[in-house]
Structure 1
Amino acid sequence: MNNSIQIEKLSVPRHLDSAEAADFLAAVEIHRQAELRRWGNDDLAYTPEEILASEQDRYERHIHLLAKKADQVVGHCHLILPVEDNQHLLWYSLAVGTQREGEGIGSALLAATEQLAADEGRTTLTFETSHPVASLAAERLKPISGVGELPADSREVRFAQRAGYLLEQVERFSRCELPIDPQLLVEQQGIAERVAGADYRVLYWRNHCPEEWLEDYAYLQSRMSTDAPRAGLAIEEEPWDGARVRQSEELALALGRTTLVAAAQHLPSGKLAGFTVITGLAHRQDMVFQDNTLVLREHRGHKLGLLVKVANLRSLAEQMPQVRRIYTWNAAENEYMLAVNIALGFEPAGYTGEWQKVIG
């Protein structure tokens, strides 16, 4: 039997019920099993349908590498290459099959990934490692940003360090059980409204941004790429316009997602000053994700982050009352937004390491 590791590009199938979908489905299952091992559930695992639909994104190019032994899929690396911006960057997610650690599969996939990056002219590679709260041991590793910690003795951390990656940033992964006490939301809304005053109001939409706010919303999305804490990650501005917003909305619908947005409008100028997004998944009625939240720097200090988050959580309770938990991520140095989440009932569930390597 040939036990050598073969690395090959995966041809993404057009349909999941076709014969050529077998390797793709096996690769997706490897990632799902990795999430099960890490968290004890597959809440954070992408489905085959979601990954297949994500190939439609015009602003990203996706490449899939398979590791095989004796024609069996034993590892997978999903590579994402920005198309319109950040053309120096390659982001990837790598997973090895159950009970396959220590066989050199991850190293083989990583070597192929870095070679592909060099061939594509991508000089900066980034990937994430995830760690439950309970995994934090006595020996901990701080990122270059100086805020947050990861377990220094974890297999993933050691793998990244051996490969020459630097831990640039740590994010806190948080969870909140729903429903939130309505009285708590009323109290937090009152706090936010007293500070925000009469200069701001909250706007809402579901799945589709109203045409009158489209360009403002696109501007907020562009600023998300520059104003959110990035530590030393070499991420450049993502230029957004109305067309890109519409494409992202179309993609979300193709993925079967429900998107709830609450935005703060600055009444004197008429412009949007901040926003927050909650995303629901087609295949999970019990959980959602608290996604991007941003308040423009020139409007900070008015508790607009709290204002829009409370508003969207109340909207969630009205529109999707069956949801029982919500997840979110925040940079460990983002003290204000972490404090907002804690006030709303979020608790730490784990930590995510943002690793980066410059090649060439």
Structure 2
Amino acid sequence: MQIRVLDQADLGDDELRARGEVWAGADLVGRESLPQRTPGEYVGAMRTPDPGERQLLLEASADGRLLGVAELWVPLLDNTDKAWFELHVDPLARRAGVGTALVRRVEELARAEGRTLLLAETHLPADEREDHGHARFARACGYERASVEVVRHLDLPVPDERLQDWVDEAGAERRGYRVETHADGVPDSLVASLCVLLGQLSVDAPSGAVDFEEEVMTPERLTAAVASATAMGRTRLETVAISPDGEVVAQNTLLVPSRLDSTEVVQWGTFVHRAHRGRRLGLAVKAAGLRAAQRATPGARVVVTQNAEDNAFMVAINEQLGFRPVELTAEFARHLPA
């Protein structure tokens, strides 16, 4: 077996798609009825990296057969003690040391980047958070569970009158806020305050056993995020609440399909500025965002979101909107030896 670090810029789309097929096939096991990222979306994401991090692609192969892939992300602007990775092994190649070999090579690369904490996520059934094979594998590799998020789905369409009831209940305009939805970027006048708000998310959102620094979000990174969504066949809808002084103080990001073969909307994040909480702005931007998503993609059939299980405020809003739990996403962490 060989482990290689690849430069995705040197790979053609068909070569990247082959790695995306391994990614998708591994992610499908035990989750056959749940929405999946397609190999085409994988190619789009790998072609449009975030300028705020270094992205490395690894593969394991033997006798010309691709056995597994891993992706490593190394932050460059903040949280420079950390790195994140994902691991995907062809189901037919499991239990042969492929995953362990990829993990150890990822760890070597992270240490070479000066990182001391390595994090990885995996999906788990709600009733198998301790005993599922992914959790057992993580522990065997020296990783401990750091946090758990609950993945929830909302079936679409939601009746327009119900959405309007939630908008009215939130009453953002009565409180002096303006709620707007923008596709593929926001006006220049909103970029700076939106970047500040998005940077606070990593500090204020519950993160379990790991502490994070405030993220350095830049206009260039926002532009890259839009480009990534477009490359994946999606439109990025940003719904914002704007304070009377013109600052973005709440946001909701939805990635809606722009291709006819997808019916899944991904809720990327929702956040309210710490100085403006307790005013129903979370409900306001979520409800307005859902309405915009349905109008933009009437064929969409489900919204996928996830929140820390102890994020009581956001969980309550999701439950009010009708989101139902379907699985868990667990983050595992390992402090790397020097």
TM-score clears 0.5: yes
Where does residue 315 of structure 1 map in the other structure?
A: 292
Q: Which runs of 5+ in 2 are unaligned?
A: none
1:98 partnered with 2:98 = no
1:306-334 Cα offsets, whole Å, 9 max, x none, are: 01100111111222111111100111111
1:154 partnered with 2:138 = no
Structure of higher CA gyration radius: 1
**Aligned-pair distance for 1:94?**
0.5
Over the residues paired in the alignment, what is the CA RMSD in angstroms? 2.0
**Aligned-pair distance for 1:42?**
6.8
Where does residue 140 of structure 1 map in the other structure?
A: none
- Secondary structure of the residue aligned to 2:262 is strand
Q: Which amino acid in structure 2 is aligned with residue 307 of structure 1?
A: A
Alignment of 1:1-360 (within 5 A): 5-12=1-8, 13-17=10-14, 21=15, 24-41=16-33, 43-47=35-39, 48-55=42-49, 57-133=50-126, 136-137=127-128, 150=129, 152-193=130-171, 197-267=174-244, 269-283=245-259, 284-359=261-336, 360=338
Distance 1:314 1:73 in 2: 43
Distance 1:101 1:93 in 2: 16
Q: Which moved more, 1:63-72 or 1:303-312?
A: 63-72
Distance 1:41 1:63 in 2: 30
Between the two proteins, the alignment pairs up a number of residues equal to 333
Q: Which runs of 5+ in 1 are unaligned?
A: 138-149
TM-score normalised according to structure 2 size: 0.92
1:12-48 Cα offsets, whole Å, 9 max, x none, are: 244325xxx2xx4332211111222131057332434
1:252-274 Cα offsets, whole Å, 9 max, x none, are: 3344320111111122x332211
CA contact (8 A) 1:35 1:41 kept: no
TM-score normalised according to structure 1 size: 0.86
**Aligned-pair distance for 1:243?**
3.5
Distance 1:213 1:118 in 2: 38
CA contact (8 A) 2:79 2:212 kept: yes
CA contact (8 A) 1:227 1:296 kept: no
Distance 1:103 1:282 in 2: 39
Q: Which moved more, 1:97-106 or 1:329-338?
A: 97-106
Moved over 6 A (4+): none
